[in-house]
Amino acid sequence: MVRRGALEVAQRILIAVMVAIALSIAYMILHALWASEPRPARSTPVPATLTPTRIPTATRVLPSPTPTRPPKRVGLVAGHWGYDSGAVCPDGLTEVEINLAVAQLVKALLEDRGYAVDLLEEFDAALDGYLADVLVSIHADSCDVPRASGFKVASVLYSAMPEEEDRLVKCLREEYQAATGLSFHEHSITYDMREYHAFYEIAPQTPAAIIETGFMAADRQILVNQQDKVAEGIANGIICFLETDSH
Ligand SMILES: [Zn+2]
């Protein structure tokens, strides 16, 4: 009895051990299978810039084949206008009346060619930081030197863009000479012209020049009676500069 009972117990223990081993093996196999399955990839946030954005074709805005540029802008200072008379001749002819009449004619000529033109006073508030494709200040020389004749053109003494402003001076000089027949009065360009106040008020990227259109004594005939030629010379000089520029 005892021996048989002991044998039965041993058999049961053996069966229990075998079942336990079988279960362990089954568990290990299942675990191994689960581990070999592809894991879901960890989601890495993609930078927004790398995310391709699909734009529906219908809403895509195509660039215009011929973009329309705004008109080029020209500033004209009618010398002394709104401030004083400028030079005065013994008979009362004033520089400001010549400057203003010429500036108005230049404005009309340029507007006819499609430019936007601002006619400015000598100390116009708009000069402060004035931004344009070009600024030209129009003056005339005094009656004080009866035999002096000719015109002058100058840009600022220390230019931030010497090539541009030299080209502006060259254009004005050549076109003004061609239109009026006056000679260039090179050696009397004064420090005052090159240190002209408006040069220091306008935006630094606005090319600028000042022109003395002639002497009010010797060149009076053209300054008073042929202002269309005076204006044409200035307008052509400005157009020469604007239409041969590099930008
Ligand atoms: Zn003046």
Looking at every residue in the chain, the average pLDDT score rounds to: 85
Q: Residue 219 C-alpha to ligand 1 middle, in angstroms? A: 15
Position 234 scores a pLDDT of 98
* Ligand 1 ion: residues within 5 Å (CB): 79, 86, 139
Q: Residue 86 C-alpha to ligand 1 middle, in angstroms? A: 5
The rounded distance, in Å, linking the Cα atoms of 234 and 138 is: 9
pLDDT class of 64 with cuts at 50, 70, 90: low
Position 25 scores a pLDDT of 64
Within-domain flag for 152: yes
Range of the domain at 164: 73-243
Within-domain flag for 37: no
- Tell me how many helices (H) and strands (E) the chain has: 6, 5
Q: Residue 121 C-alpha to ligand 1 middle, in angstroms? A: 12
Q: Residue 176 C-alpha to ligand 1 middle, in angstroms? A: 18
Within-domain flag for 170: yes
Position 138 scores a pLDDT of 98
Q: Residue 68 C-alpha to ligand 1 middle, in angstroms? A: 38
Q: Residue 196 C-alpha to ligand 1 middle, in angstroms? A: 10
Within-domain flag for 209: yes
Which tokens in the block code for residue 99? 């400057």
User: Whose CA is closest to 135, among 114, 113, 115?
Assistant: 115
Find the angle CA(152)-CA(239)-CA(117) to the nearest 5 degrees. Answer: 95
Position 47 scores a pLDDT of 47
Q: Residue 235 C-alpha to ligand 1 middle, in angstroms? A: 19
Q: Is 169 helix (H, G, I), strand (E, B) or coil?
A: helix
How many domains, the chain?
1
Within-domain flag for 104: yes
State the amino acid at position 155 in one-letter form. Answer: S
Within-domain flag for 17: no
Within-domain flag for 19: no
The b/e string for 107-143 (b: 16+ C-beta within 10 A; e otherwise) is: bebbeeeebebbbbbbbbeebeebebbbbbbbbbbeb
Q: Residue 212 C-alpha to ligand 1 middle, in angstroms? A: 7
pLDDT class of 48 with cuts at 50, 70, 90: very low
Rounded to an integer, the average pLDDT of 44-62 is 49
Between the CA of residue 207 and those of 44, 161, 172, 241, what are the distances in Å?
Answer: 54, 8, 13, 10
Within-domain flag for 11: no
Q: Alpha-carbon torsion 146, 148, 149, 151, what sign?
A: negative
Q: Residue 1 C-alpha to ligand 1 middle, in angstroms? A: 142
Query: Domain of 116: which CATH number?
Result: 3.40.630.40
Q: What is the pLDDT of residues 173-216, one digit of tens each?
A: 999 999 999 999 877 788 788 899 999 999 999 999 999 999 99
- Answer yes or no: are the C-beta atoms of 173 and 237 closer than 8 Å: yes
Q: Residue 145 C-alpha to ligand 1 middle, in angstroms? A: 15
- pTM for the complete prediction? 0.72
